[in-house]
Amino acid sequence: MFFGTRTRPVAFALAFLFALACAQAVAVAQDDFEDDAADPVKLFNKGQDAHAKKNYEQAIELYDEALKLRPDFAEVEFQKAGALIALKRTAEAEKSYRRASEMKPTWSLPPAALGLLLARTPGREREAEAPLRRALELDARNLTAAIALAELRTRSGDAAESLSLWRRATELKPEDASLWVARGRAERAAKDSPAALKSFERALASEPTNSEALLARADLYLESGDKEHALENVRGLENLSKNTSDAKLAIAVANRYGLLGMRDEAKRIYDSLPEEAKTSEEGKSLSAAVSDLRCEDTPESRASLEKLIAADEKNAAALACLGIFLRTSDPQRSLELFQRANRIDPANADYAVGYGAALVQLRQFDRAASILQRVVQLAPKHYEAHANLAAALYEMKLYKQAVSEYKWISQARPELAIVQFFIGTAHDRLGEYEDALAAYEAFLAAADPAHNQLEMDKVNLRLPSLRNQIKRGEGVKSVRKTQ
């Protein structure tokens, strides 16, 4: 199985953003201070010179001297925070940004920089939102705040606001290819593929060799079934990976060849990789994809998988394959294998579903449902996720939720008569007798005695009393008939 690698989130250079802020701070200082404030301004300028030369300790000393003479000099406090960050004294930098905001509450740069600092501090991402939003209230064109908040909303799964913010960022700086890539990803997450394609095209118009835009465009073509244009992009990416000697890009290209069904091309790229790239996490996954091993349940295949796992404990594909084979015969081992695969590649829905399915086999329905519900949210068309979730909800006697899942399955696989049996029994147990009768009759009309005789016998035994209950007006009325 080939898996597309996830493209990296846009990495906006902190140094660039602070340089922009510094330039604005200098302008503010020059505008606000006249001759009567010459000494603190001169100290500020000397501090700026030291700062630019990366003499951060000296710069901080000069900034402190200026602040002694002019305690409300917000621009100095702001620049001091930047020097403190360079020295990794982030707690002190945070205090300086907050003081700068208090000194000059209508200035957007300090809250923007504070928000950016908090956003990049593990565990404090939520705290970052308030200062970033404040910065945008003060200045709707503050690119630093727009980008930082967009990244936060993207990570939190807020597709609507993240897209709005990325659109604002591209309007503020339309020549920046990385911003168009981020916007395209947000549009793709919002399921607006045509808009996403246009954004990736804009990125490539600014930067024709932008590998992230090329990969994203190739993936859009793959999703739409346009293999001709996808292959054109992938071949261009292969040339780019050769010119730049980018092993990670080469692995991504090999994965796209695999998705196009061009296994030999993928293997050719894998064979050409340097040894250190082959032993990387991405390289190991590619190795599993291009290997001749098939995920077929035979004694020989099981033995080969055990050897692969012993040689490479992080071979997620091998772990998952063996987990499938052991799901019913050894569900506890299957659970452990899928759990390991899921930890190695948490973005792979198949591994998470395998983990949930093993929990269903072990009758740990609550845990299974929790995992599978998250998978369904992220991969709404994953059939196995819906099937296992339906089973877990049914066993937990959450029949209304189970019916919803079984109806999805019935639409996806209308040939599966047994699904109507479970829909019928769920309605029956909810006292929704008319809906139960409709589902039972649909089941009997499509059921095959060779496979469903036991369920058919149960339904035929139940139908006479069910029909009598409906005649007597018992049970919950059908929603369809009361509308």
Chain segment 12-71, per-residue pLDDT in tens: 434 444 455 455 544 444 444 444 445 899 999 999 999 999 999 999 999 999 999 999
pLDDT tens digits for range 421-439: 999 999 999 999 999 999 9
CATH architecture of 293-396: Alpha Horseshoe (1.25)
- Low-confidence residues in the chain, pLDDT < 70: 1-38, 284-285, 287-296, 477-483
pLDDT at 115: 93
pLDDT at 478: 61
Contact by Cβ (8 Å): 192, 160: no
DSSP string covering 317-383, please?
HHHHHHHHHTTTT-HHHHHHHHHHHHHH-TT-HHHHHHHHHHHHHTT-HHHHHHHHHHHHHH-TT-H
pLDDT at 287: 67
Longest pairwise C-alpha distance within the chain: 100
Residue ranges matching CATH 1.25.40.10 in the chain: 1-156, 293-396
- From the candidate CATH numbers 1.10.3720.10, 3.30.230.10, 1.25.40.10, 3.40.50.720, the one assigned to the domain spanning 1-156: 1.25.40.10
CA distances from 448 to 29, 295, 347 (A): 83, 30, 38
pLDDT at 482: 45
Entry pTM: 0.56
CATH class for the domain made up of 404-483: mainly alpha
